[in-house]
Amino acid sequence: MMISADPEVLPDALAGLAASAALMVSDIPFNGPISEVRVAKIDGLYLINPPTSMLDRAELDLIVAGNSNDILMVEGECNEVSEEDMLTALKTAHEAIKAQCAIQKELEAEVGKTVKRTYSHETHDPELKKSLYNAYYDKVYAVAAQGNANKTIRKEGFKAVRQEYLDSLPEDHTIDLSLVGTYFHDIEKDAARNLVLNERRRLDGRQLDEIRPIWCEVDYLPRAHGSAVFTRGETQSITTATLGTKMDEQIVDQALFSGYNKFMLHYNFPGFSTGEVKPNRGPGRREVGHGNLAMRAIKKVMPADAENPYTIRVVSDILESNGSSSMATVCAGTLALMDAGVKIKAPVSGIAMGLISDPETGKYAVLSDILGDEDHLGDMDFKVTGTEKGITACQMDMKIDGLAYEVVAEALLQAKAGRLHILNEMKKAIAEVRPDLKPHAPRAFIIEIPQEFIGAVIGPGGKVVQEIQKTTGATIAIEEKDSKGFVSIFATNKEAMDAAVGRVKGIVTVPEVGEVYTGKVKTVTDFGAFVEFLPGRDGLLHISEISWDRLPAMKGVLEVGEEVQVKLIEVDQKTGKFRLSRRVLLPKPEGYQERPERPERSDRPERSDRGNSENRRPRN
């Protein structure tokens, strides 16, 4: 449990160190110590456990776990980095792990816990194990060497060999059947591994770097905003992409972070995908871990928030599984987003790499696109995702002690070739992001407004924005960020979108002399009418500016509520009042002559007798 936290020190990189240290100061049997660190590439430097505030600039962000000799686990995300950058990060992290393991050994000696309890919880029957190997190893190896791509047929073949032994036992036997199951599992594991190491062939007959057959299709579900099916061998994902409004954002409330999330990815692994009969309950380890890995892989190519008004949810349902279902989710998720018209930076594919090794002979084989059996029987599960440009996420679990960096480098390069092959297959389904959304997808538009106009758009008690939503049918969300206002408008059709955009723009638009507006008559007076030409802005349409004809009175000329096109011809600099004209927008009649304006009194010509005192009649 995290007891206290420094906002600049992320706790996830300390959990492994803390757990290992607790075991080191106990007498519990433990093949440690181990530790873990975060390594990030920031401004060209590889930093160990950098401050939280620096991670926004990280090109690469990995959590690496290991012991003094080997790397055990890796997980993280990257901004399309190269394989060389990944290797450098792993080496940098391992050096820090070695130092932390050395400190734990010192701690163990300091508290006097160098002697541990003896582990003796298992019982074995070496004679039974030897007899089973001698009698059935060749038969199991023959099943493995058949190269059958159907895992059910392989499973039945292994089961038949085991059943042959069980049928040979007398009814009154004293054999421990649980040990029989354990030893047959070991025989199957050794047979499958030796097939790879000795013959360079795999359980399903593929070459070491061969990818299973791929079939994919987009726009599979007619009413989804985006959908795709991705099938690789016996693993299949059907994935949807849904576009929501700002109101659909995920609220994040964690110990060191609170805010909102606009991109969500959920991974579902129902029992029927592996032929199991079981209820589908809440998310477990697989759903959380695989979903998070796929989310990290795709998140790096999502458009920036300023360019994306939508909250996006991707859901992957695994319909059939035989290894690499998380990587199928990455591929299907990418295709679904492209089908939905989301402007991702580049398509992402993923591949799971495996390893079979023999420390005694030094033989090893790196496997591309591993099966479920190869994951279970192998020494490594190394998932790598990325674009044509570079890696976006990775996850590695090691099941053996010792993995040379040369082997990691080979696995990364082989993974790159596999990723590019998969990307080319995906392009056959959809080569580019769709230029527009589906007709039934919600439309979104973001208007950036000055900070001082936020209140005007909202209105007192939200009256203005609620009225806009009610009359147009659009959904409007307003937020303030970086001393600016951002108005997100969502609508199900173009008419509603245009109406809402026009209303908002009308509120925040500064009236310009010479512009033409469609206004609504608010009041009619004897000398003209007051017209609301922008929301909250009225101007005087004088009786002389309504028509080219001279109007004797306003009666019957305009009605309250009538729409009329007007042109803004003047803004009084002192009072800020607006003068409008309608007649300038109408054709001028032929032969029309402007009526001369009545001159001011000071400009009128004087009468002939004015100024002549002699001709004036004296006043009484």
Q: pLDDT tens-digit profile of 460-499?
A: 899 889 999 999 999 998 988 888 898 989 998 888 888 8
- Please state, rounded to an integer, the average pLDDT across all residues of the chain: 89
Name the more confident of 590 and 443: 443
Q: 325: part of which helix (H) or strand (E)?
A: helix 325-340
Res 594: pLDDT: 66
Q: What ranges in 461-612 are assigned the alpha helix state H?
A: 463-472, 494-508
Confidence of residue 450 (pLDDT cuts 50, 70, 90): confident
Res 584: pLDDT: 87
| Pairing label, strands 250-253, 349-357 | unpaired
**pLDDT exceeds cutoff 90 at 620:** no
Q: What is the pTM of this model?
A: 0.80
Residue 598 backbone dihedrals phi, psi, to 5 degrees: -70, 120
Res 505: pLDDT: 84
In the sheet that holds 484-491, the strands lie side by side as: 443-450, 484-491, 475-481
**pLDDT exceeds cutoff 70 at 367:** yes
**pLDDT exceeds cutoff 60 at 537:** yes
- What are 75-104's pLDDT values in tens digits? 999 999 999 999 999 999 999 999 999 999
**pLDDT exceeds cutoff 60 at 405:** yes
Looking up tokens 């008419």 gives: 495
- What are 162-209's pLDDT values in tens digits? 999 999 999 888 898 999 999 999 999 999 999 999 999 999 999 999
Looking up tokens 């059996």 gives: 373
Q: Provide mean pLDDT across the span 120-144.
A: 92
Q: 50: part of which helix (H) or strand (E)?
A: none
- What are 414-427's pLDDT values in tens digits? 999 999 999 999 99
Share of the chain above pLDDT 70, in %: 95
The radius of gyration of the chain from alpha carbons, rounded to an integer in Å, stands at 38
- What are 333-347's pLDDT values in tens digits? 999 999 999 999 999
Res 305: pLDDT: 81
Q: Provide mean pLDDT across the span 254-259.
A: 88
Res 573: pLDDT: 79
**pLDDT exceeds cutoff 50 at 611:** no
Q: 177: part of which helix (H) or strand (E)?
A: helix 177-199
Which structural domains are found in the chain, ordered by start? 11-110 (3.30.230.70), 126-199 (1.10.10), 214-276+284-429 (3.30.230.70), 443-500 (3.30.1370.10), 516-586 (2.40.50.140)
3-state DSSP helix/strand/coil percent for the chain, to nearest 5?
35, 25, 35
Q: Provide mean pLDDT across the span 311-331.
A: 95
Angle at 17 between CA 288 and CA 12, to 5 degrees: 35
Angle at 99 between CA 358 and CA 5, to 5 degrees: 115
Res 295: pLDDT: 97
Using an 8 Å Cβ cutoff, are 370 and 379 in contact?
no
DSSP assignment of 75-135, as one string? Answer: EEEEEEE-HHHHHHHHHHHHHHHHHHHHHHHHHHHHTT--S-PPP------HHHHHHHHHH
**pLDDT exceeds cutoff 70 at 603:** no
Confidence of residue 593 (pLDDT cuts 50, 70, 90): low
Cβ contacts of 376 within 8 Å, gap of 6 or more: none
